[in-house]
Amino acid sequence: MMMDALTLKDALFWAFAILTVGFGLMVTFHRSLVHATLGLLGTLLSVACLYGLMDADFVAVTQIVVYVGGVLILFLFGVFLTKRIEDIKVSNQSVNWVVAVPAGLVLLGVLLYAILSSPLPTAPVDATGPTTSGIGDLFLSRYLLPFEIISVVLLAVLLGALLVARRELKPEERD
């Protein structure tokens, strides 16, 4: 591969990649759960920017709307609802460092070996412009069944989450 000047896209990739990994480290290694959740916010936003860099406009916007707007708010909600218990303990205790980190590094080594020794295509296909209509076509033709199944799953999740999270009074405390 020739060593020509860094293009703007390459520079942006490196910036967002460093941000993604940095925030990912924050998610994994920060002791405070609130900070870890905010690290997840950074990771999700950086990954959305990477999607934008890969001309995946619809996926990028979906990532921001669903993940940052929905899932992350739920996480913060959960963290703050259970925060009282966190104050009692020494921060948020973590375990198994001695086993987990070396195992993770070994796995990363295996993955890197597999990636670097496999012939991956190097040239991107020409950008085809906005992807929304293409994705919509796919969902309403070839992937209609998965699309419908997902809608049923979402309904089931809506009802199931209500059912599970509802505070059920025990018989003795009902009176």
Residues 35-64 that bind another protein (CB under 8 A): 36-37, 40, 43-44, 47, 50-51, 54-56, 58-59, 62-63
* Whole-number Å distance between alpha carbons of 129 and 63: 19
97 scored as a contact of another protein (CB under 8 A):
yes
Phi, psi of 118 (to 5 degrees): -105, 145
* Whole-number Å distance between alpha carbons of 166 and 175: 18
If the CB atoms of residues 4 and 175 are measured against another protein, the closer one turns out to be 4
Question: Whole-number minimum distance, CB 174 to another protein, in Å?
Answer: 15
13 scored as a contact of another protein (CB under 8 A):
yes
Among 15, 105, 129, 144, interactor with another protein by CB under 8 A = 105
Binding mask 106-145 for another protein (x = CB under 8 A): -xx--xx--xx---xxxxxx--x--x--xx--xx---x--
**Cα 22 from chain centroid (whole Å):** 14
Region of 4 (left: φ > 0; alpha: ψ -120 to 50; beta: rest) is beta
